[in-house]
Chains A and B, each alone.
Chain A
């Protein structure tokens, strides 16, 4: 299947959608309108939950804010619905931004619970504010008019709704395939990974959150002017959960899943209303919610992935062209070989009473490979985390390229030119090798939200893609750039992480136990790769356990034991040092 096939399929679906009102009954068209309106919220939620990993139970509140805002502007103050759109979107995004700033630093399920909290609080507010009609709601909301043409009937507003849905999908998929979209897709990999790529995780989360709220606001605006009447009911907590249902049924990772999920849930609810009275006479109202919830629970028990990903597995893969040569991305000014690059001065890190790293000092000079070794519990990983900013030192200073980075957050250290890999490989298994490596170029590129969504910066994207391919080729993984990273064996995943780090054009590459868990052949390949990088004048710092691997590879070694520096020197000197032998093997009897 090629891109052309996908475009043809999309055009066919669009044509069907355009013809639908001519064929369908008015009731079906209204149903389609509801599906379109719910789709917008579900697409936003797919972005937030499926892509960004932030589960929100409160989207209905955002829909409500926009709906009430536009109703207040148009029905109560007699202004144009278009002004209502502006006001609704601005108000919703503003509220979302404030809520996001306050809550998005929360961890784990605390974040989801906070969405329950503000979702409920805002939901209760609609029914209790004097100026908004309390539980009676606001009626006689005017229809949307384009020029002097009012969109009154359901077939008229149909084209507006589905036009917006199609546009949102197009822009959404463009965004996913751009620099910021890739940053959003990496959020689920955990904060350390995101920050290590030079991405400010909080800002990306906030952007995703506000985009989802924006889509909910569009939905609320359309809802208010389609139904011409609003009350608190459609924006309460249960509706928030229904939106989440739609997203999960469609497949949380997929934007198209939002539309499919909205369609299935809406049609299912409708048919439950239709057919239940036939099975159980008289009890239909009560049983409706029971049947619906039971179906949803069954669905989650049997198909957690959602429908679109389950089907997509059986479709032929899209064939892609190898990236073409493109102008190179800007490179950073590399330090001259032999120059002092990293200086650790009296670093100390305490965890309560435990001193994990105690007064450790060493230097890294440009162009060398330095290893930090030591037995288990020597403080290697703590030292590593302090260097990359994942932990702060309790005392002492770390200077990189002449600038102190002791207090810098991870993403700033990464931007300064320190690229790292992880002991437990952190890749995005569902992204291709090429996309994983492109993540490394984040801090070298600039494309923003709008440029990404409207594909305005294709030149930079081509350069980033070509850079990623070149780094893949440099490490020897260039033959299958569109393979999924999760399909690689561990040894190659480590090497892929190095390619991702190289794509950031680092001044210093720090590797956290790169040989751990590798087979002998894989270790040899890795050592060979690191030697070739040194030949390119790259500076490398390795924290490692495996003596054999280190001895034959590095220029100098720093040995840690019980948190303190034991000694420092060239491999042959370290090998014959009695203190090192004692630390590793125990004392000579």
Chain B
């Protein structure tokens, strides 16, 4: 391997890694606030790419139908649980959040579609359509078992991923998509050609991580999210609702996953089931950061991207074998580096 090839591979890896990093940060965000290891973020990313492709092709994406279906289901569950608990006065609020807003989002997207919008608007529409999915799934799937063990939540999360893959096939079909590059700009950097798309990916990852940092350190909502992550009971005593914190975390997380989906779509062909490996590799990155640190997760994810890029140069068939085998030493290192409280498993 010459240094030229190494440089190309490294740049390639950094670009892939930056995409994973966005998803990884979302994964850490959700885990710290809700204790759910949300594997389906990869699916959210893939669905965003598919949504954008459909919009580009002037078709109304299946995402719309998916959001409407999930909104109806979530509303039904929320209304039943409110009536059961005798909290009828909260019904209008529930209808607004779980039914009206998601339906309005789909409606706006549908109307906007008819005006043949430019690319920038299509990007916004794709993100708008994708963001309600994770919070609605949270209400339907995770809220009823919020007190469960990390393991139960993880198992449910994995099952949810399979459900989403099925839904993805149903709503988007089996064809893979590749969207137009967002920019055709390219430049030479230390003797290696770097495409504008690559630079855009890295830039987006940096900007979004930075925004997240500002959000957590300088806004009250951000601080309440951090408080929930540290101690659910304590923050509840301070008047923070963990459910609301969870919803915000899911919204933010899906936004990041959505952006990563938009960024990866021009580089890789995305299928309805491409999300699993994106999600898992992002998750590997998140583990490197110990599932608690955002910069750690981002660095870990970029590391995974670089590793994958070099591994696929060595043996493209075995690249995933290499990436996941290397996870084991990382886990051992993380496990040794983390102090564990003696924990009994509940029965």
**B105 interface contact, C-beta 8 A:** no
Q: Give chain A residues whose Cβ lies under 8 Å from the Cβ of B338.
A: 107, 110
**B318 interface contact, C-beta 8 A:** yes
Q: Which chain A residue lies CB-closest to B317?
A: A128
**B243 interface contact, C-beta 8 A:** no
Q: Give chain A residues whose Cβ lies under 8 Å from the Cβ of B158.
A: 57, 241
Interface centre among A53, A105, A245, A293 (most CB of B within 10 A): A293
Within 8 Å by CB of B331, from A53, A103, A244, A245, lies A103
**A120 adjacent to B347 (CB under 8 Å):** no
**B328 adjacent to A300 (CB under 8 Å):** no
Within 8 Å by CB of B335, from A106, A241, A287, A430, lies A106
How distant is B30 from chain A, measured CB to nearest CB, in Å? 14
Within 8 Å by CB of B345, from A57, A124, A188, A286, lies A188
Within 8 Å by CB of A190, from B141, B150, B162, B343, lies B343
**B325 adjacent to A293 (CB under 8 Å):** no
Question: Chain A interface mostly helix, strand, loop or mixed?
Answer: helix
How distant is A122 from chain B, measured CB to nearest CB, in Å? 8
Within 8 Å by CB of B170, from A192, A244, A290, A426, lies A290
Instruction: Decide: A108 near B166, CB < 8 A? Known: A103-B328, A293-B159.
Output: no
**A106 adjacent to B318 (CB under 8 Å):** no
Q: Which chain B residue lies CB-closest to A134?
A: B317
Interface string of A106-150 (1 = CB under 8 A from B): 111111111011101100110010000000000000000000000
**A294 interface contact, C-beta 8 A:** yes
Within 8 Å by CB of B167, from A106, A118, A189, A290, lies A290
**A375 interface contact, C-beta 8 A:** no
**A283 interface contact, C-beta 8 A:** yes
**A106 adjacent to B166 (CB under 8 Å):** no
Interface centre among B165, B321, B334 (most CB of A within 10 A): B321
Q: Give chain B residues whose Cβ lies under 8 Å from the Cβ of A269.
A: none
A24 to B49, CA, bound (A): 49
How distant is A412 from chain B, measured CB to nearest CB, in Å? 19
**A109 adjacent to B325 (CB under 8 Å):** no
Q: Which chain A residue lies CB-closest to B143?
A: A301
Within 8 Å by CB of B151, from A112, A128, A253, lies A112
**B152 adjacent to A300 (CB under 8 Å):** yes
Q: Give chain B residues whose Cβ lies under 8 Å from the Cβ of A288.
A: 166
**A430 adjacent to B328 (CB under 8 Å):** no
**B344 adjacent to A110 (CB under 8 Å):** no
Interface string of A186-216 (1 = CB under 8 A from B): 0011111000000000000000000000000
A193 to B259, CA, bound (A): 48
The contact sample of 30 A-B pairs, CB cut-off 8 A, is A103-B328, A106-B331, A108-B343, A109-B150, A109-B154, A110-B338, A113-B327, A114-B331, A117-B284, A118-B324, A120-B280, A121-B320, A128-B318, A188-B344, A189-B344, A190-B342, A192-B342, A253-B347, A287-B170, A288-B166, A289-B162, A289-B165, A292-B162, A293-B160, A293-B162, A296-B159, A297-B141, A300-B156, A301-B145, A301-B156
